[in-house]
Chain A
Amino acid sequence: DEVVNLPAPPDLSVHSTNMKHILTWSPVTIPGETVNYSVEYQGEYERYYTSSTWIPSSWCSSISTPECNVTDDITATVAYNFRVKATLGSQSSSWSTLKELFNRNSTVLTSPRMKISKDGYHLIVEFEDMGPYFEFNVTYWKKSPNSQKELYKIVREGGNLVHLETMEAGAEYCVKAQTIVEVIERSSTFNQVECIRAQDESPL
């Protein structure tokens, strides 16, 4: 093995959207060679109580791409640190670590994709499955010139059809929703309001 000075992978950072956390770094390039990387992490517990302990990431021991899905490693609402080293054959770089610790309560929450439909006079809503942490706060109302009484429903998980209301013939109903992530005590902004009109009364 020709001795190569392997630099530590630079620019470590975590990108997190909707509780999916991706660790990225800039690649270490050695012409004509494939450099691999290994990722380890420390939660607040390890940092304060067993500071020498680093835990191998669930999915990223000896990978060749400069990114790692660390969602399964970040499993508590505390500050986490990550470190990455490059390896080439028997040679390893030193570890590089995050400039700023990462806490999952800083994840970006986007408003939910929603589909409303009707089954006869039944108002139906469906959300994409966003994973185990997500609930949906649904607000809906019947459009009318004078009063607009808003109703609420919490939908515990996405991926299913949920009955919201039995509609009055010919009336128009509107729906909006936001995601709620209880473990980080946060919610997204509301999505675009969507409306649907119930069919008119069928002549006998």
Chain B
Amino acid sequence: LKRCQISMDMHHIEKSFHRIKNTIQMKDVFQNVTILSASETLYNITPSDVCCMTKDVLGLYVDKVFRNHEESDPRIQRGLSTIANSFLHIRNALEQCKNQRNCDCQKEATEKFQIIVGNYEQMEVKAAAIKALGELDILLSWISRNYRPKATT
């Protein structure tokens, strides 16, 4: 991610998710199923594939996950809006970075992303969306690990 030099407000995104996490995760009735399946996919991505995987996974969330979840509680709406707009900003910046050939996908990363998409599409649309929203803590901690803010003074 460092090659793409993107400013990410990870602290604020994580804070927004933390506020709504319990409410979201309680709506997930398929506890023994996973979409991001962290151990097999995200957490053994090579550093050179991190950028492309981030772009693709954020794209999945922007294009499908947030859209397929209808929310009436303004508090949850606000939290999800912060995350969705932040993801949109980051994804758009990574797309530009890709155009400058700094964020290309290796075969292995593409295959791993397809595992995630496969997991998502196996579930009913609304259940998949709520499951993916509930797994945002997995995604956010993975992104934070790969985008280390500068050391504090």
Contact = CB atoms under 8 A, between A and B. Distances in A.
Interface of A: 43-46, 48-50, 53, 55-56, 58, 73, 75-78, 132, 153-156, 162, 182-185
Interface SS of chain A: helix, strand, loop or mixed? mixed
Given A76-B9, A77-B89, A55 B67 contact: no
A183 B90 CA distance: 11
Interface SS of chain B: helix, strand, loop or mixed? helix
B85 A45 contact: yes
Contacts, number: 69
Contacts of B127: none
Contacts of A53: 77
Count chain B CB atoms within 10 A of each CB in A50, A58, A184 and give the residue with the most: A50
Given A49-B66, A132-B11, A156-B153, 11 more contacts: A43-B81, A44-B89, A49-B63, A55-B77, A56-B77, A75-B86, A77-B89, A78-B85, A162-B153, A183-B9, A185-B7
Contact of B88 (A73, A76, A182, A185): A76
Contact of B67 (A50, A77, A156, A184): A50
B7 A45 contact: no
A78 B74 CA distance: 20
Contact of B7 (A50, A56, A77, A156): A77
A48 B81 CA distance: 13
A155 B67 CA distance: 40
Given A154-B150, A183-B7, A76 B62 contact: no
Interface of B: 7-9, 11-12, 16, 62-63, 66-67, 74, 77-78, 81-82, 84-89, 150, 152-153
Contacts of A50: 66-67
Nearest to B75: A58
Contacts of A55: 74, 77-78, 81
A185 B12 CA distance: 16
A156 B74 CA distance: 33
Contacts of A77: 7, 9, 89
B84 A43 contact: yes
7 contacts: A43-B88, A45-B62, A45-B66, A45-B81, A45-B85, A76-B86, A76-B89
Count chain B CB atoms within 10 A of each CB in A45, A56, A153, A156 and give the residue with the most: A45
A75 B12 CA distance: 8
B84 A45 contact: yes
Nearest to B93: A77
A46 B9 contact: no
B153 A75 contact: no
Contacts of A44: 85, 88-89
A154 to B, nearest CB: 6
